[in-house]
A = this chain, B = another copy of it.
C-alpha cells in the first residue's frame, strides 16, 4: 500500500483506491491529477479464466472482481481494471512464457488488426463488506491495433531487448514496439493499460476531483 501523486486530499472528496499493483497503471492514473492509494486486490483470476471465455465479458468481470475484493474491506471509491489483448479469432494473448512464445505471439500479431479491451469498474463503498457497496459502474473500452508486416529480424531484435516478457501480447506500444504499430483506432492509453478518458469521466461522475497537479 503506497501513496502516489502529489496533490492533497480535497475536503469532502471521496478517497480513491486503485485495486491494481501495476506501476504502469499507477503512472497513467497520475496523469489525471487525482490523489489515490494503491490497495492490492486478492481477486482470484484463475477461477474466472476457467468459466468465462468471451474476452469482453472476461475483462468486465475481472475488473469488477478486483474492485469488489478491495471494496469489501476499505471505504472509498475503488477502481478495478483488467486489460486483455485479443486476436480477431477471440484468442486472448497473455504474457509470453519464453522466447519461442514471444516469437509466436509477435508473428501472429504481424500484419493484422487485433483488439485491446479494458474493463473499468468503479465502486463506492463504506468498507463494511459486500453490502456496503452503494454504487457501481462497469465499462469496457476497445481499441483496435494494427501491426505492420514484421520481418523475423525485427521480431528477434525486439525479443533481444527483453521488453516483451512482462507484457500481455508480448509488446509495449509506448516502448520499442512503437514502430511495429502502423495504426490504432481508439484510445491509445487503453493499449498501455488504462483508458484515461473513460476513467476520468467515471471518476468525475463519482465526485473524485481531477486535474489537481502539484497542489
Asked whether B181 lies within 8 Å of A188 as measured between CB atoms, the reply is yes
A89 close to chain B: CB less than 8 A: no
A210 close to chain B: CB less than 8 A: yes
By secondary structure, the A interface counts as mixed
A137 close to chain B: CB less than 8 A: no
Task: Kindly report how many copies of this chain are found in the complex they form together.
Answer: 2
Distance in angstroms between the alpha carbons of A32 and B148 in the assembled complex: 13
Q: Which of A77-85, A101-109, A154-162 contacts B (4 or more CB under 8 A)?
A: A154-162
Distance in angstroms between the alpha carbons of A187 and B185 in the assembled complex: 9
Asked whether B211 lies within 8 Å of A188 as measured between CB atoms, the reply is no
A97 close to chain B: CB less than 8 A: no
Asked whether A178 lies within 8 Å of B213 as measured between CB atoms, the reply is no
Asked whether A200 lies within 8 Å of B179 as measured between CB atoms, the reply is yes
Q: Which of B151, B182, B185, B211 sits near A183, CB closer than 8 Å? A: B185
Distance in angstroms between the alpha carbons of A157 and B186 in the assembled complex: 25
**Contacts A/B (CB < 8 Å), 9 sampled:** A148-B197, A151-B211, A153-B210, A174-B174, A176-B213, A179-B197, A183-B186, A184-B186, A185-B185
